[in-house]
Amino acid sequence: MNIIVCVKQIPDPEAPPASFKIDPATNKVAPPPNIPPVISPFDEQAVEAALRIKDAGGAKITIISLGVNLLRDVVKKPLSMGADELILLEDPAFADGDSWATAYALAMAIKKVGAYDLILCGRQAADWDSGQVGSCIAEILGLPQITVAKKLEVRDGKVKVERVTADGYDVIEAGLPAVVTVSNELGTARYATIKGIMAAKRKEPIVWKPSDIGVETAKIGAAGRRVKMQKLFQPVREGKCEVITGENEEDAAANLAKKLAEVKLL
Amino acid sequence: MTDNKGVMIFTEVVDGKLAPIARELLGCGRKLAGELKEELSALLIGSGVAGVAAEATAYGADKVYVVDNELLKDYRTDAFVGVIEKVARQANPRILLLGQTSTGNDLAPRAAFRLGTAVTLDCVALEIDASSKLLLQTKPVYGGNARAIFTMDTLPQMATVRAKAMSALTPDSARKGEVVTVDAGLDAATIKTNLLQKVVQEVEGVKLEDASVIVSGGRGIGGPEGFKELEELAKLFKGAVGASRPPCDNGWVPTSIQIGLTGKVVSPEVYIAVAISGSSQHLAGCSGSKNIIAINRDAEANIFKEARFGVVGDWKKIIPAFQAKAKELLGK
Ligand SMILES: Cc1cc2nc3c(=O)[nH]c(=O)nc-3n(C[C@H](O)[C@H](O)[C@H](O)COP(=O)(O)OP(=O)(O)OC[C@H]3O[C@@H](n4cnc5c(N)ncnc54)[C@H](O)[C@@H]3O)c2cc1C
Ligand SMILES: Nc1ncnc2c1ncn2[C@@H]1O[C@H](COP(=O)(O)O)[C@@H](O)[C@H]1O
C-alpha cells in the first residue's frame, strides 16, 4: 500500500484576524511577524488519515510539498508524525501558481514517484481556500475522486469513504488508485512523538526541480495560471458595537433583553 | 474558435424542486445575461427532473436543458462531469455557474478542467467588467480575512457561488421558456465511484438555513450540557441552534450545525453568538446576519467588531438572566 499525501505550507490561518495584513506595495499577503507558518490544517488531517491506514494494515507514506522558502521544521512535521518520505518541489518557478498549475506539477511528481494506491489532499488549502487541487490531480491522472472525507477505509483494493454532505454523509466506494480529499470532521491529527521528531531530524527531504519531473515550465507556477488575480483587498468592517452594561452580569443580560425589545428584535 | 455565448446555471434539485441556491443563481444569472445581452439557460441533471423545468423558467431561465436519466438519480462525480461536459460543448456558454454546495464544490473543479477552462469556488459577488466584458469573480480568501477578484480568459468562465450571496427573482409563472432535452449519453463503465449509502442526520425543529433567530455556541460553552441551555433559549425565539467548529469537532453537537467557511452559511435576522471569539472563518458563515449579538467574557474578542449589541461576561450568568427577562417581555 503506497499512499501519497500533498501538504502545503501556509501562514497560520488561526493567527488573530487583527494580525492579517496586505502589503500595498506588492499586493501580497504579508506574513504576520513572529507567527511561524504551518502545514495547512486539512493537510495535516490528510496525513492523519494516511497514518490511520498505515496503523491498520501497513503502508508507505510519501509526503509531497510544493513551494518556496519551505521551512524544514514545518514541512518535516508529517515525518515526525510517522510518514516515511518527504519530497519537496522547491523552486521559484513552481511558486504562485493557481490550483491548476500546482496540481499539474504535483501530478507530474506523483507520476515520477510511480507507485501509488491512494493520493490524499486536504479539502482546501487554508490560505487561498481554493479547494481544487485534489480534483485536478485526479483529472490529470484519470483517477476517481472523493472529496470532503471524514472517514476512510481501505480493503480489497478499494477505498470506502464517508463524504460530508450538508445534512449528513454519503458512503462512497472507489477502486484504487484514487484521490481523496480530507476534511476536519476526520478528527484531530496526532501529535508528533519524540521518536518521530528524532527520526525526522535525521531524514533529508528529496528536492525536485522542474527539470526533474519533466514539466513544461509554461504550465507551472505563476506562468501557468489560468485564474488571474485582479485585486486583493481587506473588506472594511464597521465595528460599531453597542456594549450593554449593568450593575452585574445578570443585570446587563436583562438590559440586553430590554434593548432588543426596544429595537423590535425580540 | 468556438463562439461562446450566454450564461448557464447548473440548477440543483432538492425534493423535486429547485434548491434555494439554484433560484439565487438564476437571479444572479439573469442580471449578468442582461448586461451581456445574451441568453440565460438552466441545466437540470437528474432522474425525474423534467418537471422542474417550468420552475427554472419562472425564476428567469430563457432556455432549460434537461438531462434526465436513471443513472443520474444520485450525484456521482464522473456521471455529472460527463453530462456537464457534453451539454457545455453543445451549448457553448460564455459563463457557467454552480452553487457552492457539496455537489457543486466536487463537480465544478473537475468539470472545469475537463472543459479546458478554470473555476473560482465560493464567490460572493459576480460582475461583468465594463471594458473587458470578463466575469469579475469576487471570492473571500485567507479564511475571510481578505477578498480577491479573479478573472479567467478561458471559456466558459466558471464559478461557484456561496449560499445567500445572491437574491432570487420573484417567480413569474407566465414567463415563457424553451426546453431542450439532451440525451445523457452515459456509459456506466466510466462511473468509477459507487454510492453505497446516503445518511441523513435529521436535526429537530427549525432548519438553520430558514431560522430567523439563531443561537450559536462556541468553544467557551464547554460541553454538550451548555448547548441544552442554548436550545431552550432558541426555542423561546422559535429559532435554531448553531455552533462554531470546536463544539462540532469535540462531538458536543452534530457537525451539520457548524456555521462558517466550511460549514453552513446563514443570514438570520438575529444571530446570538455565545462564547465565540469571532474568527474570520466563523464570520464567513454568519456575517450576513442582520443583527449579531455577542456574549463573550473577553471584551477584546473579535466578535464585538461584527456585533451590533454585546454583553461582556460569563455566558453561564448571562444566558439564564437574559432568557428570564426575554420571557417576561414576550409575555410567556
Ligand atoms: C480552513 C479553516 C476553516 C475553518 N472553518 C471554520 C468554520 O467553518 N466554522 C468555524 O466556526 N470555525 C472554522 N475554523 C476554525 C476557526 O479558525 C476558529 O478556530 C474557530 O472558529 C474558533 O471557535 P470559537 O470561537 O468557538 O473558539 P475560540 O476561538 O477558542 O473562542 C472561544 C471564546 O469563548 C469565550 N469564552 C470562554 N468561556 C466563556 C464564558 N464562560 N463566557 C463567555 N465567553 C467565554 C472566550 O473569550 C473566547 O472568545 C476554520 C479554520 C480553518 C483553518
Ligand atoms: N503547494 C502545494 N503543495 C502540496 N500540496 C498542495 C499545494 N497546494 C495545494 N495542495 C494540496 O491540495 C489541497 C487543496 O488545495 P487548494 O486547491 O489550493 O485549496 C491542499 O489541501 C493540499 O493537500
Query: Which pLDDT score is estimated for B89?
Result: 97
Taking the alpha carbons of B240, B242, B247, B251 in that order, is the dihedral positive or negative? positive
Continuous segment of H or E residues that includes residue A9: strand A9-10
Same structural domain, A200 and A252: no
Cell of residue A162, nine digits: 464517508
Residue located nearest, by CA, to atom 1 of ligand 2: A66
List of domains in chain B: 7-190 (3.40.50.620), 208-330 (3.40.50.1220)
On chain B, the residues whose CB falls within 8 A of the CB of A37 are: none
The span from the CA of A63 to the CA of A7, in Å, is 7
Residue B325 has its nearest CB partner, among A11, A166, A253, at: A253
The span from the CA of A135 to the CA of A103, in Å, is 9
Same structural domain, A117 and A56: yes
Taking the alpha carbons of A237, A238, A244, A248 in that order, is the dihedral positive or negative? positive
What is the CA(A64)–ligand 2 centre distance, in A? 10
Same structural domain, A103 and A128: yes
Instruction: Report if residue A27 sits inside a domain.
Output: yes
Cell of residue A53, nine digits: 491506514
* In A137-195, beta strands by DSSP E: 145-155, 158-165, 168-175, 178-182
Same structural domain, A266 and A166: no
What is the CA(B298)–ligand 1 centre distance, in A? 13
Q: Are B41 and B9 in contact (CB under 8 A)?
A: yes
Which of B253, B279, B286 maximizes ligand 1 atoms within 8 Å of its Cβ, making it the mutation to test the pocket?
B279
B148 inside 8 A of chain A by CB? yes
Q: Are B24 and B165 in contact (CB under 8 A)?
A: yes
Same structural domain, A103 and A172: yes
Query: Between chains, do B106 and A259 touch, taking CB under 8 Å as contact?
Result: no
Question: HSE (CB half, 13 Å, CA atoms) of A137?
Answer: 31
What is the CA(A171)–ligand 2 centre distance, in A? 24
The span from the CA of B72 to the CA of A61, in Å, is 36
Instruction: Report if residue A236 sits inside a domain.
Output: no
Query: Which pLDDT score is estimated for B22?
Result: 98
Query: Which pLDDT score is estimated for A153?
Result: 97
Same structural domain, A161 and A261: no
Pocket around ligand 2 at a 6 A CB cut-off: A 6-8, 40, 42-43, 46, 64-67, 99, 102, 106, 121-122, 124-125, 128, 130-134
Query: Which pLDDT score is estimated for B1?
Result: 43
Query: Between chains, do B329 and A241 touch, taking CB under 8 Å as contact?
Result: no
Residue B118 has its nearest CB partner, among A226, A231, A261, at: A226
Same structural domain, A181 and A265: no
Instruction: Report if residue A230 sits inside a domain.
Output: no
Same structural domain, A199 and A246: no
Residue A249 has its nearest CB partner, among B154, B269, B313, at: B313
Which of A89, A91, A110, A121 maximizes ligand 2 atoms within 8 Å of its Cβ, making it the mutation to test the pocket?
A121
**Residue closest to A255 by CA, chosen among B242, B297, B220, B295:** B295
Query: Which pLDDT score is estimated for B2?
Result: 58
Cell of residue B45, nine digits: 441533471
In this structure, what DSSP letter does residue A190 have? P
Q: Are B142 and A13 in contact (CB under 8 A)?
A: yes
What is the CA(A69)–ligand 2 centre distance, in A? 16
The span from the CA of B241 to the CA of B234, in Å, is 6
Q: Is B228 exposed, middle or buried (0-12, 13-18, 19+ CB in 10 A)?
A: exposed
The span from the CA of A56 to the CA of B219, in Å, is 32
pLDDT tens digits for range A4-16: 999 999 999 999 8
| Domain encompassing residue A150 | 2-224
Same structural domain, A172 and A259: no
| Number of domains chain A contains | 2
For residue B293, the cross-strand partners are B272, B309
Amino acid residing at B90 = Q
Taking the alpha carbons of A30, A36, A37, A38 in that order, is the dihedral positive or negative? negative
Instruction: Report if residue A233 sits inside a domain.
Output: no
Residue A239 has its nearest CB partner, among B136, B193, B305, at: B305
- Report the number of secondary-structure helices (H) and strands (E) in chain B: 9, 18
On chain B, the residues whose CB falls within 8 A of the CB of A248 are: 317
Instruction: Report if residue A74 sits inside a domain.
Output: yes
Instruction: Report if residue A90 sits inside a domain.
Output: yes
Closest CA–CA distance from residue B174 to any residue of chain A (Å): 33
Query: Between chains, do A253 and B321 touch, taking CB under 8 Å as contact?
Result: yes
Q: Which residues of A57-76 are buried (b: 16+ CB within 10 A; e: fewer)?
A: eebbbbbbbbbeebeeebbb
Which atom belonging to ligand 1 lies closest to the Cα atom of B244? 11
Query: Which pLDDT score is estimated for A239?
Result: 72
Same structural domain, A135 and A260: no
What is the CA(B241)–ligand 1 centre distance, in A? 16
Same structural domain, A82 and A174: yes
The span from the CA of A79 to the CA of A47, in Å, is 9
What parts of chain B have a pLDDT lower than 50? 1
Across chain B, mean pLDDT equals 96
The crossing angle, in degrees rounded to 10, of helices B315-329 and B224-236 is 20
The span from the CA of A171 to the CA of A138, in Å, is 19
Instruction: Report if residue A232 sits inside a domain.
Output: no
pLDDT tens digits for range B190-232: 999 999 999 998 877 899 999 999 999 999 999 999 999 999 9
Instruction: Report if residue A110 sits inside a domain.
Output: yes
Q: Residue A134: which CATH number?
A: 3.40.50.620
Same structural domain, A15 and A87: yes
The answer, yes or no, to whether ipTM is higher than 0.85 is yes
Q: Are A259 and B309 in contact (CB under 8 A)?
A: yes
The span from the CA of B50 to the CA of B68, in Å, is 7
What parts of chain A have a pLDDT lower than 70? none
* In chain B, beta strands by DSSP E: 7-10, 13-14, 17-18, 40-46, 63-68, 95-99, 119-123, 125-128, 135-141, 146-152, 157-161, 178-181, 193-200, 213-217, 240-243, 270-274, 291-296, 309-312
